Structure 1
Amino acid sequence: MKSQFLSNILLMLIWVFLTGSYNAYNFSFGFILGLLIIWLIGYSVGQTKYIKILPRVIAFFFYFVYELIIANLEVAYEVMTPNLNVTPGIIKIPLDVETNLEISLLANLITLTPGTLSLDVSDDKKVLYVHSMYVKDRDEFIHHIKNGFERRILLITR
């Protein structure tokens, strides 16, 4: 899969150098053109994992950016208003992710989102402890993490 991604980047760069236009539109078009070429070659050989995962990675990136913006706005509002409306708490989140990479990615994404902090992982790697500024409903918070970051991580890694 790494080689297919690098091939896609190489095809994009070849397109950009051949056209001589170095703008975002041309880079994007070259990437999509390279993706189409890799899909055609991969489909005939039976290697389509890269084509299936790439849209999921892009969607995951945009989901993270959305969550990051929302969390920043919530924390900024909290800082600028005179009354504190925080309901802090530590939540025990049962994990479906299993590998060290998946757990680390989930924990780091949670920590990168303002207002939340990953504290610890249980010894059996089945539970993640998270501190949040806003815990109005424990089950809703768990549902948001599991159907947000965790589900999307599982779509990419499996």
Structure 2
Amino acid sequence: MTKQFLLNLMLTFVWVALTGDLSFVNFWFGFALGFFILYIKEKNDGDVKYFVRVPKILGFLLFFIYEMIKANLQVAYDLVTPKFFMQPGIVKYPLSAQNEFEITMLSNIISLTPGTLILDVSADKKVLYIHVMYLKDKEKFIRRTKEKIENRLLEILR
């Protein structure tokens, strides 16, 4: 998979060099063009893991940006209004992530979202303790985090 990514980057830079335009749009167009070329070349070889993972990564990034904007707006609204809507709480979140890298990535993504903060990881690495600023329903928060963030992240990492 690393080989395909490096080839894709190389094709992207070749595209940028040939067009002579190092703009954001041209770079991403070159990346998409290189991705398509590599997909055509590699689809008969059976090693299509890269071509499944890249769209999932892009989808996850778009989802995360949407969630971050939504959480920022919620916190900003709460700050500018006279009444506080906060309902803080601590959640004991059961982990599906198995190794330290997966736990670290999940913890970082959860902590980057405004209104949430990782407090601790249990000694057996089975539970994550999360402080949530707007906690209305613990089970809904756990289910939503499991489905929307952790499962998507683990699909990308594994």
Tell me the TM-score range normalised by the shorter chain. Answer: over 0.9
RMSD: 1.3
Matched letter for residue 104 of structure 2: S
**Percentage identity across aligned positions?**
48
Q: CA deviation at 1:37?
A: 1.9
Equivalent residue number for residue 12 of structure 2: 12
Structure 1: tracts of 5 or more residues without a match: none
**3-state DSSP of counterpart to 2:134:** coil
**3-state DSSP of counterpart to 2:119:** strand
Instruction: Work out the CA distance in 1 between the residues paired with 2:113 and 2:68.
Output: 5
Matched letter for residue 33 of structure 1: L
Within the alignment, does 1:103 sit opposite 2:103 as a pair?
A: yes
**3-state DSSP of counterpart to 1:45:** coil
Instruction: Work out the CA distance in 1 between the residues paired with 2:25 and 2:114.
Output: 32
Instruction: Work out the CA distance in 2 between the residues paired with 1:130 and 1:101.
Output: 18
Instruction: Work out the CA distance in 1 between the residues paired with 2:22 and 2:157.
Output: 33
**3-state DSSP of counterpart to 1:97:** coil
Number of residue-to-residue matches in the alignment:
158
Task: Give the TM-score taking structure 2 as reference length.
Answer: 0.94
Instruction: Work out the CA distance in 2 between the residues paired with 1:157 and 1:25.
Output: 27
**3-state DSSP of counterpart to 1:57:** helix
Q: CA deviation at 1:85?
A: 1.7
Q: CA deviation at 1:143?
A: 1.1
**3-state DSSP of counterpart to 2:43:** helix
Matched letter for residue 143 of structure 2: H
Structure 2: tracts of 5 or more residues without a match: none
